Amino acid sequence: MAADTQGPERTIGQLVADATHDLEGIVKSNIALAKAEMSTGAKFMGKGAGLLGAAAFMALMGLIFLLHTLANVLALWLPVWAGYAIVMGVLFLVAGILAMVGKKALASAKPVPEKAIAEVQQTLKVIKP
């Protein structure tokens, strides 16, 4: 809607239309900012969840080797069990490292759109008397 700006004074209707248009632009930009922040936070959460899933899988593999080790120790009392024990220890070590990295990634994820919330609060302060 084009406003007639040739006259020295604008009507109240034109001023209200302009204010509504400006407010609509602010709201749209705040929504876009919130989407961008949520997307970034979700990526970090996905990475952390994937690493924790990998840690759980490695721990399960370690448990399998632990059971093999115990079975061979009880059945044979041969040095073969030492190999199983070393593999089990390495798997648990890898699982621990993956769990710590995954936990750190989840802790650093910020899925709450803090900037967008701050922008909306500033806009509300300006609009409200």
Give the DSSP per-residue string, 10-46: --HHHHHHHHHHHHHHHHHHHHHHHHHHHHHHHHHHH
12-76 helix and 114-127 helix, angle to the nearest 10 degrees: 160
Side-chain half-sphere of 102: how many Cα atoms within 13 Å? 17
21 φ, ψ to 5°?
Answer: -65, -45
Contacts of 70 (CB under 8 A, 6+ apart): none
What's the pLDDT score for residue 79?
65
Tens place of pLDDT per residue across the chain (129 aa): 455 555 568 787 777 777 778 778 887 887 877 777 777 777 778 888 888 899 999 998 888 878 777 667 666 665 676 666 776 787 788 889 999 998 888 888 777 777 777 777 777 777 776
What's the pLDDT score for residue 97?
93
What's the pLDDT score for residue 65?
78
The tokens describing 68, both together, are: 């093999």
What's the pLDDT score for residue 83?
66
Q: How far apart are CA 56 and CA 106, in angstroms?
A: 15
